[in-house]
Amino acid sequence: MIIGSIFQDGHSRNSLFSTEDSVHRYNPTYTPILLRNEFLALGIEINTPDMNEGRQVAFELHVEGRTLVGSDVPRYLIATENPFINRLNDDPEYFKQFARAFTWNPKFFGLGNVTPILVPNQLAWAPFTPYAGRDLFACLINANKGFPYTLDTDLYQERIRVIRWYERHAPGQFALYGMGWNKPARGLGMLSQLRRRIDRLRSQLYGYKPFPSYRGEVRFKRDVLQRCKFSYCYENVRDLPNYVTEKIFDSLLAGCVPIYWGANNVAELIPPGCFIDRREFDDMDSLHRFLQSIDEKRYAQYQTAIRNFLSSEAAQRFSSEHYVKTITESIASNLGRG
């Protein structure tokens, strides 16, 4: 058996292979468990470094860019996090330190050691609830986060604009879910930070609600998305090619029509009939009018397109199985187990 160490910040004692992710509370662990099992089938065992103490380790697998220390074994990198959040995921010199790196980012495809992958999803879905059975019109499910600096392509701020538009113009047709919305949004600059602190005190002392549309956290997104006709699925930033995350897939797999904004080549990866492209609308007023114009027949057409896509080979590029097979076969081949 070949032994490898897998590094992922915050994880030890093989916690990333547990049924519950101890670091990211709502992260599914389906993909890392599948990764470990597929390696085992190839005669390779991966563990967090603490579990490999005293054993002969043949390689390291690093999940997302992280500070490296000295090592005399081959290293491999999985880089799927947004490069504006993990800066090492945007550094070609960092990538060159690995025997092989796996990423969706075409910026690195010219490097000889890079294999393309897409952000993986567990593509499990059940029969879709039709339009008439969905009692929520629109929703947004995200954590209340933001960049600590100004970014031209920031979509965190666009999410805030969606929330505020509905709270002002159509409060009965929108529900906000996720962690942290009982607190004010992150502000930039001293004045914004001061206002945020004041609003936080108001919420603690007087029951002030920074976001009146907030309905609370949700354990399983699908519980909400199966009830909702439309879901706002904005990435953290726009215009990163191939950066299509679980946000749109959570909606698709629940038969909920996504309103998407993010990867600038999304239509090359997911058929346009499966989602509503936010870029096609000048403002929230025109977008909301379009949503209201969609009747049961048109909604069923979206759901048919979604089902056809999820059943296709094109969707399999986003599957956990394809992601795991790409990584394990490549590393096994490099280690002489292919």
Domains and CATH numbers, the chain: 2-120+319-334 (3.40.50), 131-316 (3.40.50.11660)
CA distance 290 to 36: 45
| Span 60-86, pLDDT tens digits | 999 999 999 888 999 999 999 999 999
Q: Average per-residue pLDDT in the chain?
A: 93
Beta strands in the chain (DSSP E): 2-7, 44-47, 59-63, 75-79, 100-103, 114-116, 136-141, 174-177, 214-216, 228-234, 257-261, 276-277
Backbone dihedral angles phi then psi of residue 48, each to the nearest 5 degrees? -65, 150
Look at residue 19 in the predicted model and tell me its pLDDT: 80
Closest CA to 217 of 245, 180, 162: 180
Count other Cβ atoms within 10 Å, centred on residue 239: 15
| Span 251-290, pLDDT tens digits | 999 999 999 999 999 999 999 999 999 999 999 999 999 9
| Span 79-108, pLDDT tens digits | 999 999 999 999 999 999 999 999 999 999
| Span 29-56, pLDDT tens digits | 899 999 999 999 999 999 999 999 999 9
- Residue 63's DSSP bridge partners are 78
Element (H, E) at 163: helix 156-169
| Sequential DSSP letters for 1-49 | -EEEEEE-TT--TTGGGSSS-SSSTT---HHHHHHHHHHHHTTEEEE-G
